[in-house]
């Protein structure tokens, strides 16, 4: 069922308050361990995470562990408003630049790559794999494009604090479902 935009906006405000209240130290380290146990990504698997901003879960430990495991660690790059995200390779110590959208990204000299696993930020999630994002549609557009490109499967894994789970997320007609959720309490696949 499609939710009106005003309901989604109200849900975002509530979810931001909840996220700030449930954020705890060490969650990123536990998420890294749960992700590696659940996915067991081998060398050459490309995994895109995200650099934390404004209270988001911190996945920098996961990025480092992925790099150590020989995976191609990627970060999203905002190509422009209304466009799907691009993904550039990341390595520890790499200088990042702040985009016009306020996101820390690798520079244009970093190699482009297509992720096999896309770790998605969110404000809330439910038991059906629905997520409430920030409202820009970047990840929904990107997942739709990756799922339709014919270049192979893409796995969408939300990353969040366990306390960001809600009974039901508002949903729009273009919202893409998650395949997994990974929190500091564990990893779970949606059926």
- What secondary structure does DSSP assign to 76-108, as a single string? EE--STTS--EEEE--TT--EEE-TTS-EEE-T
Residue 72 · residue 46 · CB < 8 Å: yes
Q: pLDDT digit string (tens) for 38-86?
A: 999 999 899 999 999 888 999 999 999 999 999 999 999 999 888 999 9
CA proximity to 121, closest of 59, 30, 179: 59
Q: pLDDT digit string (tens) for 83-137?
A: 999 999 999 999 999 998 888 999 999 999 999 999 999 999 999 999 999 999 9
Structural domains of the chain sorted by starting position, each given as residue range(s) with its CATH number in brackets: 5-189 (3.40.50.10420)
Query: pLDDT tier at 191 (50, 70, 90 boundaries)?
Result: confident
The predicted pLDDT at position 2 comes to: 62
C-alpha distances out from residue 41 to 30, 45, 51, 178, Å: 16, 6, 20, 18
Check residue 152 and give left, alpha or beta (phi > 0: left; psi -120 to 50: alpha): left
| Average pLDDT of span 149-168 | 97
Residue 55 backbone phi and psi in degrees, to 5: 85, 0
The predicted pLDDT at position 6 comes to: 75
- Strand 86-89 vs strand 155-159: parallel, antiparallel, or unpaired? unpaired
- Strand 96-98 vs strand 124-125: parallel, antiparallel, or unpaired? unpaired
**Vertex 105: Cα angle to 129 and 38 (nearest 5):** 35
pTM of the entire structure? Answer: 0.93
- Strand 46-48 vs strand 117-120: parallel, antiparallel, or unpaired? parallel
User: HSE (CB half, 13 Å, CA atoms) of 98?
Assistant: 3
Residue 109 · residue 95 · CB < 8 Å: no
Q: How far, rounded to the nearest angstrom, does the alpha carbon of residue 114 sit from its chain's CA centroid?
A: 15
């Amino acid at each position: 069922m499609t939710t009106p935009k005003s309901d989604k906006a109200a849900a975002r405000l509530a979810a931001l308050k909840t996220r700030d209240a449930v954020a705890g130290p060490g969650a990123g380290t536990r998420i890294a361990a749960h992700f590696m146990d659940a996915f067991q990504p081998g060398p050459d698997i490309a995994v895109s995470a995200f650099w934390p901003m404004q209270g988001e879960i911190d996945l920098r430990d996961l990025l480092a562990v992925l790099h150590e495991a020989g995976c191609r660690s990627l970060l999203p790059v905002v190509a422009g408003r209304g466009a799907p995200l691009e993904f550039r390779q990341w390595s520890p110590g790499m200088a990042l630049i702040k985009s016009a959208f306020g996101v820390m990204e690798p520079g244009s000299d970093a190699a482009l790559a297509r992720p096999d696993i896309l770790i998605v930020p969110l404000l809330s999630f439910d038991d059906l794999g629905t997520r409430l994002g920030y409202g820009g549609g970047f990840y929904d557009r990107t997942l739709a494009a990756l799922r339709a490109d014919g270049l192979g499967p893409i796995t969408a894994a939300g990353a969040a604090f366990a306390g960001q789970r809600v009974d039901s997320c508002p949903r729009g007609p273009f919202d893409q479902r998650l395949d997994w959720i990974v929190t500091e309490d564990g990893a779970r696949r949606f059926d």
